[in-house]
Amino acid sequence: MLELSKHKIVLVIKILFIYIKSIIKSMQKTIIKLTAIIVLAVSMYACAGNKSESIEKEIILEEVTEEDMNSIEYILPSPLQIAELFKNAGLGYIGDLTNKIDKAENYNSKYDQKLNFGVYSADMAYCIMNNQTQESINYLTTLRKLSEKLWMTDILNSIGLAERLESNVGNEDSLTYIMADLQMQMDDYLDENGMGYTGSIIFTGAWIETMYLGAKVNSADQNEKLVSRISEQAVILESLIASIKQNDEDNEYVELIADLEKINKNFDGINDESNENYTLSEEEVKILSEDVSYLRMKIIGG
Amino acid sequence: MKNKYPYLILFLVVSILSIGAIEIIEECDATALKKELKRELRPDFKYDSSKTSRFTYKTKPQIKEIEVPLFIGEKYRFLFNTTGLPLKIKIDIYNKQLGHKNRKLLYTLDKKEGQDLYTFEPEKSRKMYINYIIPESIEENLNGCMIFVLGYRLSVLN
């Protein structure tokens, strides 16, 4: 009985072997293809690992040979904070100063779109803080259109901005919190998508527009506190220029940097560390205003 | 149907291996960590800006510096979230840039056991420099992230 079972087992094994052999034979071509592709995929995986290893080694070598191994990172304030500072210092509303919304159709390059997204953000903040409700909503609509071109649509939709603005008309405090939420969303979006450098360019547009509004309002009605806040912007401009330079690997912003550096020359007296409380004179504010207006015209397209 | 099985298996194998080939950079959920900090701003402070600093621990110590411009006379709150750090780092805040001979230490944060969120409110507002002092590690490919959020509260002028 046992011997018969053994015989049966051996027979079954033989049959299985023959069956598997026949399957392998029939799938030979398929197996060869499968093997080749698996080898290729494994090579890709190994290469990715090797590449990251070699990049890591490269970085270590680079750090070892450089004298200064530490790189500084820059934080830029929100345009909202600057706008609020100026408002608190006496920035009143003058109609028709802000950038026309119909110009948004002309901004076709990413360069123009980013800068003017900042410009219109500053204009929206200016209108919100001066209770210009319809203007605020018009600028929000314009920002939506630009954000589509910049693939940033989700930012404005995610916090129900339009509805919140409309339901808080006249409540400046709530409106500024809503603007702060928008800033948060934008920073998160840019960070998650590795677009920190875009934030610097958007900020540039907003900063130039805010400085333009501040200087224009001041020229209409001289205000010491406003001049003090304008003078203080020297602190921001240095960081802004450094931040753009740091990320401008493709030299796309050479001209913009040169224009900002020209404006920065107006702050030479303030950037001198021995003059921490230096405030721009009336003449210096006038020259600064001209340089800011010149760059603003270039950004918004005359 | 039988003939399609090998190709299905092949597709799965290649997909799994390909995913492995892509370097997974995001080892900390910066958005979630920032959200925790933003809660610490209310009700007195508004969100101003933030910085996520990602780094790899190396076999020698590192310093990462962040320049933070502040406006004179206004109030600020610095918030740090250290949840994304596998090894603790030290945080120093100075009034001048790294390498400046007269720089003064304004604040030091030493990570405490069981605490991940830290707050600092400077008494006097001026440009400040945050220094992350990252210790060395022999472990390869050890990554961490540090989240910083800045809040502001403007003084009301008469």
AA letter at A184: M
Q: What is the tens place of the pLDDT at every residue in B32-60?
A: 999 999 999 988 899 999 999 998 999 99
Cα angle A189, B69, B38; round to 5: 45
Are A73 and B38 within 8 A, CB to CB? no
Backbone angles phi, psi at B106, to 5 degrees: -100, -30
The average confidence (pLDDT) of chain A is: 80
**Residue A44 · residue B18 · CB < 8 Å:** yes
Look at A38-47, A235-244, A261-270 and tell me which has the smallest mean pLDDT: A38-47
Q: What is the tens place of the pLDDT at every residue in A242-253?
A: 999 988 888 899
The number of C-alpha atoms within 13 Å of A112 and in the hemisphere containing its C-beta is 12
Q: What is the tens place of the pLDDT at every residue in B65-102?
A: 999 999 988 999 999 999 999 888 899 999 999 888 88
- Please list every residue in chain B whose beta carbon sits closer than 8 Å to the beta carbon of residue A38: 10, 13-14, 17
Strands (E) located in chain B: 46-56, 62-68, 75-81, 90-94, 105-109, 117-120, 128-134, 143-153
Are A239 and B69 within 8 A, CB to CB? yes
Look at A30-39, A68-77, A286-295 and tell me which has the smallest mean pLDDT: A30-39
Are A239 and B47 within 8 A, CB to CB? no
- pLDDT value, residue A5: 54
Closest residue on chain A to B126 (Cα): A235
Are A75 and B66 within 8 A, CB to CB? yes
Closest residue on chain B to A72 (Cα): B65
Nearest Cα residue to A100 out of A296, A291, A263, A292: A296
Are B50 and A60 within 8 A, CB to CB? no
CA–CA separation, B50 and A176 (whole Å)? 18
Look at A36-40, A232-236, A262-266, B66-70 and tell me which has the smallest mean pLDDT: A36-40
- pLDDT value, residue A149: 87
Look at A169-173, A269-273, A298-302, B111-115 and tell me which has the smallest mean pLDDT: A269-273
pLDDT band at B21 (very low <50, low <70, confident <90, very high): very low
Among the partner residues A63, A74, A89, nearest to B67 by beta-carbon distance: A74
**In chain A, where are the structural domains located?**
2-65, 79-300
What are the structure tokens assigned to A226, written together? Answer: 């406003």
Q: Would you call the peptide bond into B43 cis, given omega within 30 degrees of 0 as the criterion?
A: yes
| pLDDT over 70, % of chain B | 82
CA–CA separation, B34 and B81 (whole Å)? 8
N- to C-terminal Cα separation, chain B: 81
**Residue B79 · residue B149 · CB < 8 Å:** yes
Summarize the confidence of residues A73-89 as an average pLDDT: 92
Most confidently modeled of A1-15, A89-103, A274-288?
A89-103
CA A112 from chain centre, in angstroms, equals 14
Closest residue on chain A to B20 (Cα): A45
- pLDDT value, residue B105: 94
Are A38 and B14 within 8 A, CB to CB? yes
Using CA atoms in the order B78, B84, B87, B90, what is the torsion angle rounded to 10 degrees?
-10
Query: How would you classify residue B137: left for phi > 0, otherwise alpha for psi between -120 and 50, otherwise beta?
Result: beta
Closest residue on chain A to B127 (Cα): A235
Is the CB of A70 inside 8 Å of chain B's CB atoms? yes
DSSP H/E element including A110: helix A110-129
Task: Tell me: pLDDT of A72 over 80.
Answer: yes
Residues 78-117 in A contacting B (C-alpha not used; CB under 8 Å): 78, 80-81, 84-85, 88-89
Task: Tell me: pLDDT of A214 over 90.
Answer: yes
**By 3-state DSSP, what share of chain B in percent is helix, strand and coil, each rounded to 5?**
20, 35, 45
Is the CB of A43 inside 8 Å of chain B's CB atoms? no
Which single residue is written with the structure tokens 């401009």?
A237
Q: What is the tens place of the pLDDT at every residue in A37-57?
A: 665 655 555 554 444 444 443
Burial class (CB in 10 A: 0-12, 13-18, 19+), B112: exposed
pLDDT band at A264 (very low <50, low <70, confident <90, very high): very high
For chain A, what is the radius of gyration of the CA atoms?
31
Task: Tell me: pLDDT of A223 over 70.
Answer: yes
- pLDDT value, residue B41: 92
Residues 6+ apart with CB under 8 A from B128: B67, B68, B70, B93, B94, B95, B106, B122
* Other CB atoms within 10 Å distance of the CB of residue A294: 13
Is the CB of A180 inside 8 Å of chain B's CB atoms? yes
Burial class (CB in 10 A: 0-12, 13-18, 19+), A45: middle
Is the CB of B95 inside 8 Å of chain A's CB atoms? no
- pLDDT value, residue A32: 61
Q: What is the tens place of the pLDDT at every residue in A99-137?
A: 999 999 999 999 999 999 999 999 999 998 888 888 988
Task: Tell me: pLDDT of A143 over 70.
Answer: yes
Summarize the confidence of residues B128-141 as an average pLDDT: 91
A contact test, residue of B38, B40, B47 with most A CBs within 10 A: B47
Is the CB of B19 inside 8 Å of chain A's CB atoms? no
A contact test, residue of B4, B44, B48 with most A CBs within 10 A: B48
**Residue B146 · residue B86 · CB < 8 Å:** no
B111 vs A49, higher pLDDT: B111
- pLDDT value, residue A56: 40
CA–CA separation, A114 and B52 (whole Å)? 22
Closest residue on chain A to B15 (Cα): A41
Is CATH 3.40.50.12170 the classification given to domain B26-153?
Answer: no
| pLDDT over 70, % of chain A | 73
For chain B, what is the radius of gyration of the CA atoms?
21
ipTM of the complex as predicted: 0.80
Are A183 and B47 within 8 A, CB to CB? yes
Look at A7-16, A158-167, A263-272 and tell me which has the smallest mean pLDDT: A7-16
Q: How far is A28 from chain B (nearest CA, A)?
A: 12
- pLDDT value, residue B157: 46
- Please list every residue in chain B whose beta carbon sits closer than 8 Å to the beta carbon of residue A44: 17-18, 21
| pLDDT over 90, % of chain A | 41
- pLDDT value, residue A188: 87
Claim: this prediction has a pTM higher than 0.90: no
Is the CB of B137 inside 8 Å of chain A's CB atoms? no
Q: What is the tens place of the pLDDT at every residue in A190-204?
A: 888 888 789 999 999
Are A187 and B46 within 8 A, CB to CB? no
- pLDDT value, residue A49: 46
